[in-house]
Chain A
Amino acid sequence: EPEVTQTPSHQVTQMGQEVILRCVPISNHLYFYWYRQILGQKVEFLVSFYNNEISEKSEIFDDQFSVERPDGSNFTLKIRSTKLEDSAMYFCASSGGGNELWEYFGAGTRLSVL
């Protein structure tokens, strides 16, 4: 069964460092998303991406965040200068559009900022 793949599963970084979280969406999907979940809290939308551009972003997704689809398969989230409050689980998701109803979530990357 096709799945969304995220790497790494756990990333530890120092405050102020740049991190790149990587995702490989399901191959024929058209819409891509990043969400985050701070420990014990609900899942929050960060950004959606379609047709090689951001279609929507939340207030969390400030200038420190960027997304990119550098080739036909990868979808990345970059945080330029990490803060302690960026520590969370980051989920990538993709959906196909058309008759595809679901957003499929990856297993997540746990980001720990020290």
Chain B
Amino acid sequence: ELKVEQNPLFLSMQEGKNYTIYCNYSTTSDRLYWYRQDPGKSLESLFVLLSNGAVKQEGRLMASLDTKARLSTLHITAAVHDLSATYFCAVDKGYGNKLVFGAGTILRVKS
């Protein structure tokens, strides 16, 4: 059974600091996703990572994938308040297959 673990579950950061969220998954998967969720809102797609060594960057967020270690990271650079949200990683095993989500990381960026 595919399981996804994220850590930390809660992250309180000062503005301007860097930090990394980790996502481990238990079995081989085709794709790894990062989503952002604001309170009471839907899931906003951030990144999809397909292959070993894949790295994608958007603004202050950078995601990477190590398929051998079954590990993805979401790195936050010079955090700003607007990044406060819950971040989920999720994996699936191909088209039409369900997404299995991690528990989510609640990120709070303090001024």
Give every chain A residue within 8 A of B43 (Cβ-Cβ).
Answer: 43, 91, 105
Knowing A107-B41, A108-B42, say if A42 contacts B95 (CB, 8 Å). no
Q: Does B88 contact A (CB under 8 A)?
A: yes
The residue that B100 contacts in the complex, of A45, A102, A105, with Cβ under 8 A, is A45
Size bracket, chain B contacts? 20 to 34
Centre residue among B48, B96, B99 by max chain A CB count within 10 A: B96
**Is A45's CB under 8 angstroms from B96's CB?**
no
Give every chain A residue within 8 A of B98 (Cβ-Cβ).
Answer: 33, 45, 48, 56, 58
**Is A31's CB under 8 angstroms from B88's CB?**
no
Question: Which B residues, 81 to 111, have Cβ-Cβ distances below 8 Å to chain A?
Answer: 88, 90, 92, 95-104
Q: Does B51 contact A (CB under 8 A)?
A: no
Give every chain B residue within 8 A of A106 (Cβ-Cβ).
Answer: 42
Give every chain B residue within 8 A of A55 (Cβ-Cβ).
Answer: 96
Give every chain A residue within 8 A of B45 (Cβ-Cβ).
Answer: 102, 104
Q: How far is the CA of A85 from the CA of B43 in the complex (A)?
A: 22
Size bracket, chain A contacts? 20 to 34
Chain B 32-53, CB-CB to A under 8 Å as 1, else 0, gives 0101000001110100101000
Question: Which A residues, 85 to 102, have Cβ-Cβ distances below 8 Å to chain B?
Answer: 91, 93, 95, 97-98, 101-102
Give every chain B residue within 8 A of A105 (Cβ-Cβ).
Answer: 35, 42-43
In the assembled complex, how far is the CB of residue A104 from the closest CB belonging to chain B, in whole angstroms? 7
**Is B48's CB under 8 angstroms from A101's CB?**
yes
Q: Does B75 contact A (CB under 8 A)?
A: no
- A residues apposed to B, CB below 8 Å: 30-31, 33, 35, 41-45, 48, 50, 55-56, 58, 91, 93, 95, 97-98, 101-108
- B residues apposed to A, CB below 8 Å: 31, 33, 35, 41-43, 45, 48, 50, 88, 90, 92, 95-104
